[in-house]
């Protein structure tokens, strides 16, 4: 990596003890020093409503400013009903408006889906990619990151202890750093 890059990390699960939050924190800890991953809280965002778009709530403004200031975005999310959780979709919508002034535009992005189930959030991963391509976010295609059986991969303190998963996430982070450089504005 040629320079330090900031990454806004959005966690799709609002649960304080979520597997996805644990993974996001593990990724932030494992990232190279020149790749700074910062979690962006989305649980306080009012529901997206076009009627208040002209005078957006302070929480929307904070989110949008945070995304605009970042060099890239990383989504770490579970799958709800073969898609992304409503809170994450709400954050994506709020930061994409008003039309033509999306905070997402041109930000290099990637996604990690984490699930206690066997397929690791495959549906959410691909649905999120589809949404972000529409918003002009160049999404990293490879390596894909689906973490299944996640409940057994963390210790009681929430630390990622599964060495195989740690190794694959390290490769993912290295590839993402290169992706950011390749697609930096």
Q: What is the pTM of this model?
A: 0.96
Question: What is the rounded CA–CA span in Å between residue 183 and residue 72?
Answer: 9
Total number of residues shown for the chain = 185
Residue, of 81 and 1, whose pLDDT is higher: 81
Contacts 24+ apart (CB under 8 A), 93-97: 93/48, 94/45, 94/48, 94/56, 94/60, 94/63, 94/64, 95/60, 95/63, 95/64, 95/67, 96/135, 97/48, 97/50, 97/53, 97/56
Please report the pLDDT score of residue 175 as a whole number. Answer: 98
Please report the pLDDT score of residue 35 as a whole number. Answer: 97
CA separation (Å) from 181 to 27, 65, 92, 171? Answer: 18, 21, 23, 16
pLDDT at 182 over 50: yes
- When pLDDT is averaged across residues 70-88 and rounded to a whole number, the result is 96
Residue with tokens 């195989």: 164
pLDDT digits (tens, 9 = 90+) for 15-69: 988 999 999 999 999 999 999 999 999 999 999 999 999 999 999 999 999 999 9
For 121, the 3-state DSSP assignment is: coil
Is residue 78 a contact partner of residue 114, using CB atoms and an 8 Å limit? yes
Domain ranges within the chain, ordered by starting residue: 5-183
Please report the pLDDT score of residue 2 as a whole number. Answer: 62
In the sheet with 35-40, reading across from the earlier edge strand, the strands are 35-40, 5-11, 72-77, 109-114, 146-147
Question: What is the rounded CA–CA span in Å between residue 149 and residue 43?
Answer: 25
Question: What is the rounded CA–CA span in Å between residue 42 and residue 89?
Answer: 10
- When pLDDT is averaged across residues 175-180 and rounded to a whole number, the result is 98
Is residue 130 a contact partner of residue 136, using CB atoms and an 8 Å limit? no
Tell me yes or no: is domain 5-183 CATH 3.40.50.360.
yes
Please report the pLDDT score of residue 120 as a whole number. Answer: 82
Please report the pLDDT score of residue 113 as a whole number. Answer: 96
pLDDT digits (tens, 9 = 90+) for 88-133: 999 999 999 999 999 999 999 999 999 988 888 899 999 999 999 9
pLDDT band at 1 (very low <50, low <70, confident <90, very high): very low
Question: What is the rounded CA–CA span in Å between residue 65 and residue 124?
Answer: 26
């Amino acid at each position: 990596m040629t320079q330090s890059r900031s990454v806004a990390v959005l966690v799709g699960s609002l649960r304080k003890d979520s597997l996805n939050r644990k993974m996001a924190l593990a990724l932030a800890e494992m990232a190279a020093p020149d790749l700074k991953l910062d979690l962006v809280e989305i649980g306080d965002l009012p529901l997206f409503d076009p009627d208040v778009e002209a005078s957006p709530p302070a929480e929307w403004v904070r989110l949008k400013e945070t995304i605009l200031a970042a060099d890239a975005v990383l989504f770490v999310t579970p799958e709800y009903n073969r898609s992304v959780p409503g809170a994450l979709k709400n954050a994506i919508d709020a930061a994409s408006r008003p039309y033509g002034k999306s905070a997402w535009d041109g930000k290099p992005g990637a996604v990690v889906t984490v699930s206690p189930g066997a397929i690791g959030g495959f549906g959410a991963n691909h649905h999120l990619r589809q949404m972000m391509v529409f918003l002009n976010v160049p999404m990293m295609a490879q390596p894909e990151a689906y973490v299944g059986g996640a409940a057994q991969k963390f210790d009681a303190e929430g630390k990622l202890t599964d060495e195989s998963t740690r190794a694959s996430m390290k490769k993912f982070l290295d590839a993402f750093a290169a992706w950011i450089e390749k697609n930096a504005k």
